[in-house]
Amino acid sequence: MHQFFQQLLDGIASGALYGAMALSIVLVYRASGIVNFAQGEMAMFAAFIAWQSYAWGLPILVAILIAMVVAFFAGAVFERVLIRPFGTEPSGHAALVIVTLGLMLMLNSGAAWIWGHLVKEVPPVFGGGAISIAGGSMSRQNLGIILVVAVGAAVLFVLLQRTKSGLAMRAAASNPESARLSGIPVGRMLMIGWALAGAIGALVGALAAPTLFLQPNMMATLLMYAFAAATLGGFDSPVGALVGGLIVGVSENLAGTYIGFIGNEFKQAVALFIIMVVLLVRPQGLFGSRTVTRV
Amino acid sequence: MTTKTARAQGGGRSRKGLLKRLAAPVRPLDAPIWLRLGTFAVVLAIGVLIPLNSPTYVNFDLSMVMVYAIVGMGLNLLTGFNGQISLGHSAFFATGAYIAAVMIKNDYNYLLTIPIAVVVTWVLGYLFGMPALRLRGLQLALVTLSLAIVTPALIKRLDNITKGQEGINVFLPEPPAWTGLAADQWVYFICLIALAIAWILTRRLSTGRVGRSLVGIRNNELVAQTLGVRASRVKTGVFALSAAYAGFAGVLYTYVVQFVGPDSFGLVMAITFISIIVVGGLGTISGAILGAAFIQYLPKVTSGAGDSAAGFFYGLALVAFMFLMPSGIAGLINLALGPMVRRLPGRRPLAAAPVGSGDMAQVADAPGDEPAEPAEGAAEPGAMSAPRAGGADSSG
């Protein structure tokens, strides 16, 4: 029982990261209707920027902030330069998948080119040590991650649901044509969606770096968990992304502990399994809205 | 605002001159049959002669080009013709490679591994394609991408068979004495024969009924179904077939490289495979070879800049080709040779020739003005689905 509770706590901590990453994927999906396959690599690259700033002597919090700002603008630039020229019609999606894959490869190899494949040491933002919670223990870093993700999600929720620009963003995402007719600058809103996603990804990258070990391939697995979370929650639901992240994090940890074949090294299979099952059984996810195709 | 709308409607492209011509969908070359067969024969003859006078490393590189070209052809059937994007073909490739490595290590005849790997990857592809056909576009990309990410971990997990991280060294037996060939030449010829088979098979498939149903599903699945195409069966079938191509190529990879290890078959390889068909030209057969040459030789050009530079340029090429030249190198060649080829005698015109016109040149030009494919020119702004419904390949 104690072990179960401990696994649950660890699962929630990693699930918070998956959920946050899934949130950035969902933001892009809602804005542009595509999955940005480069999202994980953007986060990884931002984590490297944070590390580099830290290595140059800045305090770690400032370094993360810098990385988030850079990623914010990078996200906007990517949307404007690489994505928008293909239009928002579904027929351009296949081309966009390939473009984001190209971006993914460029960022991945680019980071390896600049910083090499050796693992970089990143200090935990919230200090070392652990806190005991109801019999289980949780590292201060993990607790910090959960809090940051919770606060970040709350801020985002307020931004999207309670502000004028949030309303404009939601309008632009759900019906570009009508939004445009009512005077909303749809293009700018899509750009902001990408920019926000970039900033969130950067935060996730910087928070995950101490546990995942900072190196160019660190995000592949996390990206996959995030995809599983987004699929489970529904690709157009920010709430679903967070809930999905928690479910994926917990089930991955429990499966790793209690299912012999999966063990500690093969937990990734859980993500693939979840993605497959959800897409087959309930393609729109738990919170997603069903799309009806009219011909 | 209005300009933005207009651009979105025009497929988001408002470029001029050369750039515009490059970005436009390229018409099939439609070369006369004698030119097609002739080109094939010349390429084959050159392919036979090269290894006899080349050092080992040249043969090695060319063999790898052929291995990748086979993957590219399979992937092209799936993505170029059928419009399904798979990012997971590195998994099938790895399956083929590991089947070969494990069997050769256990003293089975190395040629026996080919049919077994092809059958196994075909079945795997079929099983994977069955749910996949319910998924479309992005979802399929998601699932297959996850497959690519999981593959190295799975190989490490099955370490009692695959030897995990350590990998397997493979020692091929000497080539038969009657051939008088060196080991690298022998492997080269196996790859050449395999490539020729793949070429012919792909060509047969892509130009006939099957090819039309593939393209039909790509362009509009519902319409294709209405016309009697069994979309789900075709999609699963082509997924399984392209997986088998990848498995076949995986076996050849083991022959050529003589080593398999889990980290070769990761995500980067999966996306590199996509580079093959995008750079070479989606929906073209020769494009697979051109793209394969690109990914094999690019690292040699960039090696001075560092090991990771090649990956960066693969990615850059993906983006750049999608923007500037969505029809790839093959499309560029089509564009360059098109005017010349259209003047050659002996073409089989696409449209019915006007009776009694007598003038060969006029007949040959007629289809040029009015492409015979119906349903073409329909709004297809997406660069991916540049309509190439006709004899959808170039002859080179």
Partners of residue B161 in chain A, C-beta under 8 Å: none
Inter-chain touch B131–A228, beta carbons under 8 Å: no
Partners of residue B156 in chain A, C-beta under 8 Å: 265-266
Q: Is residue B381 scored above 70 in pLDDT?
A: no
| CB-CB contact of A34 with A93 (8 Å) | yes
**Angle at alpha carbon of residue B220, lines to B217 and B221, rounded to 5°:** 50
| CB-CB contact of B81 with B281 (8 Å) | no
Q: Residue B194: which pLDDT band, with cuts at 50, 70 and 90?
A: very high
Which residue carries 């083929």 as its tokens? B96
Considering the entire predicted model, what is its pTM? 0.83
The alpha-carbon gap from A90 to the nearest alpha carbon of chain B, in Å, equals 8
pLDDT of residue B24: 67
Mutate to test the interface with A, among B140, B146, B147, B220 (most CBs of A within 10 A): B146
Q: What is the pLDDT along chain A (295 residues), one digit of tens a residue?
A: 677 778 888 888 888 889 988 988 888 888 777 888 888 899 999 999 988 888 888 888 888 899 999 999 999 998 888 888 877 676 677 788 889 999 999 998 888 888 888 888 777 777 777 777 776 777 788 888 888 888 988 888 888 888 888 888 888 877 778 888 888 888 888 888 889 899 998 988 888 888 777 888 888 888 889 999 988 888 888 888 889 999 999 888 888 777 777 777 778 888 888 888 888 888 777 777 766 555 4
pLDDT of residue B241: 92
pLDDT of residue B247: 94
CB atoms within 10 A of CB B122: 22
Partners of residue B83 in chain A, C-beta under 8 Å: 94
Measure the CA–CA gap between A114 and A118, rounded to whole angstroms. 11
Q: Which of A93, A105, A113 sits opposite B318 (nearest CB)?
A: A105
CA torsion angle A279 A280 A283 A285 (round to 10): -70
What would the two tokens of residue B22 be?
Answer: 């490059």
What does the H/E/C string look like for B46-58?
HHHHHHHHCCHHH
Q: Are strands B168-169 and B259-260 parallel, antiparallel or unpaired?
A: antiparallel
Partners of residue B276 in chain A, C-beta under 8 Å: none
Measure the CA–CA gap between A287 and B335, rounded to whole angstroms. 49
Measure the CA–CA gap between A29 and A27, rounded to whole angstroms. 5
pLDDT of residue B144: 87
pLDDT of residue B286: 84
Which residue carries 């971990």 as its tokens? B153
pLDDT of residue A73: 93
The alpha-carbon gap from B33 to the nearest alpha carbon of chain A, in Å, equals 33
Measure the CA–CA gap between A113 and B306, rounded to whole angstroms. 7
pLDDT of residue B65: 92
**In chain B, which among 199-238 make CB contacts under 8 A with chain A?**
222
| CB-CB contact of A25 with A36 (8 Å) | yes
Q: Residue B346: which pLDDT band, with cuts at 50, 70 and 90?
A: low
Mutate to test the interface with A, among B2, B87, B135, B145 (most CBs of A within 10 A): B145
**pLDDT tens per residue, range B239-261:** 999 999 999 999 999 999 989 98
Inter-chain touch B318–A279, beta carbons under 8 Å: no
Q: Residue B35: which pLDDT band, with cuts at 50, 70 and 90?
A: confident
Measure the CA–CA gap between B130 and B127, rounded to whole angstroms. 5
Mutate to test the interface with A, among B7, B319, B321 (most CBs of A within 10 A): B319
**Angle at alpha carbon of residue B342, lines to B341 and B347, rounded to 5°:** 95
